[in-house]
Structure 1
Amino acid sequence: MSNLEKDPLELLCPPEGRQGPAVQVLAPREVPLGGPRAMNVRRTLPQRGRTTIGAWCFADHYGPDDVAESGGMVVPPHPHTGLQTVSWLFEGEIEHRDSTGSRELVRPGQVNLMTAGRGISHSEVSTPATTRLHGVQLWVALPDASRDVAPFFEHDEIAPETVDDAVVHVFAGSLPGVGDEASVTLFSPLVGAQIDLPAGGEAWIDLDPAFEHGVLVDAGPVRVTIAATDDEVDDSPADADGLTVAGHAATLGWSELGYLPTGHDGVRLTANDGPVRVILLGGVPFGEEIVMWWNFIGRDHDEIAESRRQWQSEVIGRDNPDGRFGRVDYEGEPLPAPELPTVRLKPRG
C-alpha cells in the first residue's frame, strides 16, 4: 500500500531508548487514502515517541469498510525502497501487481510479502468480488546490510495453530512453541501473527524476551498482562510523548496498539464479553537510524531526494520506464510523488 498523504512527514527515526516494564498504549490517527471517496486507515506506526517495533516501522489498520461506500482500495503503481511490505486481510480480496512481474491475489489467511530492496513499484486494487474490506498493511525496514537486495515477491497460505483458547496464524517469523517458522523471507529477527480469542477466552502466548512487541487490536477490548502482578493503571497520565503508560497490565480498545518492551517471556491475552482479534508484532530492537518519507526508506535526506527524483524522471516523466523502479502491468497512470519539504530533514520526536 502507498502512503497517499499529500504532505507526508519526513521523519528521522533514531534508535529509540527502551522504557521499563510498563505497557505503553498508542492511539491511532486517521489518514485518508485517496480522493473524495477516500478509504480511511488508522495509523499507529510511526508516531511521535514510537517509530519502530523491532524492524516493523509502519502499521495501517483499515475496515471493515463497505466497498460500495468507500470505493475499496485502488492504489495505482507507486515506488518503494529499503523496506518490505506485508499485506494481511481479515475480509475481502486484493490483487497485487509489481514490477518484478508478480500478479497475485491475497485473501484472509494468506500473506503477501514484497521486498522492495533497491527499488520496486507495485499496485494494489480490491477485486470486484469484494464487498467488505478489512485488514492491516505493514512495513518492515531493511537493515543496512540488506537494503540494496534485488526486489522480489512472496505469497503463502498460513495454517492456524491453537494455543489455550486462541487460534494463532503466524504470518512472519516465528513464535516460541507455535508451529513452524513462516516461509516468507525476513532480514532481521521478527514475528507477525494474528491471534483470535472467543468471548471470555484467555491464552498465554510465549514470547522471545530479546524482542520488543506490539499488540494491535482489531476486535476487543483485550486485557494484556506481561507480569504475574496485575497492576493495571487505566487512568495513568500521559508521558512526555503523549503516550498512556499503564502498569504490567492494560486493557486495550479498538485500533489501539500496546507496546511491550524487551525482557518478557510471555503475554497473557484475556477477552471479556466479546471476541478478540489482535495482530502481534515483534522483533529485536532496530538499532539503525532511518529516514522515512512517502514510500521511501533511506539513511539521509539526499538519498530520499534522489529516489524521488528518479521516480519522477524515469516513471512519471517516462525518461526510463524500465529503470530502477520498473513497469507494472496496470491500465492507469502511476502515482506522482509529493513535493519534498523546502528544508532539509530535521530530527523529530
Structure 2
Amino acid sequence: MAEPVRDPAAPSSAPAPAVRGGRESTPGGPVHELLAPRETALGGSTVVRRLLPSLGRRMVGAWCFVDHYGPDDIAEEPGMQVPPHPHMGLQTVSWLHQGEVLHRDSLGSLATVRPRELGLMTSGRAISHSEESPRPHARLLHGAQLWVALPDTHRHTDPAFEHHPDLPHVTAPGLDATVILGTLDTATSPGTTHTPLVGADLTLARGAHHRLPLEPDFEYAVLTMSGHTEVDGVRLDPGAMLYLGTGRPHL
C-alpha cells in the first residue's frame, strides 16, 4: 500500500519545540517554585517520584536529577532491583533514611549503603553499576537518588566510588543537619566534589525553627522527605520540593 504524501506547505500538527533549562532560566534572586513530582518505575520493582528534571526546571546548580522513593514496605518484596547500567559525565549520590542498598560497579566496588551514609559514584568517562536490596533486607525502604553534573574539565575523569559511613553534622537545639556534600556553616563533607555546591539532610524536632546560612551565589531547593515543614513561609508536604532560586544569605 502506498504511503500518503504530506503537503510540505500544510501546517504541522507537531507542537513547536520549547527550550527548557540553561542559564537563562536561573533567576537572579529568591523565588518560590513548587516542583511537581511524576511517578516513574525504577528497575521494575520500585516506583520513584521524580522531581528533577522537570518541565521548566532541569537543574538546581549542578544538581541535575532527584528521585524520592518510599517509605515502601518491602518485607515480602524483592525491594530495589536495578540491573547493571552505564553512566557518564556525572556523579550519583545514594541517600537513605530507611533500609539498605547494595552497590556493585565495574570497578569491582561492593558496598552496602545504610541510612545517613554517603554512597558517591563518579562516573567520569564511564562506569556501570547496579543497585539492589540485600537479602535478607529491612522491612522499609526510603531514600533519594541524586545526580550531580560534572563540569567540562572533569567530565572525562577516571571513574571512582566512595562510601562514607561517617559524615559531619551541624547541630543546634531541635536541629541535626548531616552534610552530604560541600560545606554547610562550618562543616564540610569528605565526599569529592568537582564544582561548588552543597547538599545536606536536616532533621528537625517538632516545632523547631532555624535560620541557616547560605551562599547567595548558589541556587537552592528543599525536598521534604517525611513529615511537614514550612520553608521560607511555604508549607511542604512529604515528597514536595521547593525551588528557591538565588540571592539568599540565609534560609
Q: What TM bracket, shorter-length normalisation?
A: 0.7 to 0.9
3-state secondary structure, aligned to 2:194: coil
Match of 1:25 among 23, 26, 34: 34
Gaps of 5+ in 2: 1-18
Q: Could you say which structure has the greater relative contact order, defined with CA pairs below 8 angstroms and 6 or more residues apart?
A: 1
Alignment of 1:257 with 2:246, yes or no, is no
3-state secondary structure, aligned to 1:145: helix
Contact 1:164 1:202 in 2 (8 A): no
Alignment of 1:91 with 2:98, yes or no, is yes
Contact 1:111 1:155 in 2 (8 A): yes
Q: What's the CA shift for 1:100?
A: 1.0
Q: Write the letter of the residue equivalent to 1:253.
A: D
Contact 2:52 2:66 in 1 (8 A): yes
Contact 1:163 1:205 in 2 (8 A): no
Contact 1:32 1:41 in 2 (8 A): yes
Q: What's the CA shift for 1:251?
A: 1.2
Residue number in structure 2 paired with 1:68: 75
Q: Write the letter of the residue equivalent to 1:256.
A: A
Q: What's the CA shift for 1:145?
A: 1.1
Residue number in structure 2 paired with 1:116: 123
Q: How does 1:33-182 map to 2 (within 5 A)?
A: 33-35=42-44, 38-127=45-134, 128-156=136-164, 157-177=166-186, 179=187, 181-182=188-189
> What is the number of equivalent residue pairs in this alignment?
230
Residue number in structure 2 paired with 1:266: 250
TM-score, with normalisation over the residues of structure 1?
Answer: 0.63
Cα distance in 2, alignment partners of residues 13 and 98 from structure 1: 31
Q: Write the letter of the residue equivalent to 2:46.
A: M
Higher strand share: 2
Superposition RMSD on alpha carbons, in Å? 1.6
Q: Write the letter of the residue equivalent to 1:263.
A: G
Q: What's the CA shift for 1:144?
A: 0.9
Q: What's the CA shift for 1:176?
A: 2.3
Alpha-carbon spacing, 1:29–1:70, altered in 2? closer, same or farther (3 Å): farther
Cα distance in 1, alignment partners of residues 247 and 217 from structure 2: 6
Identity percentage of aligned residues: 49
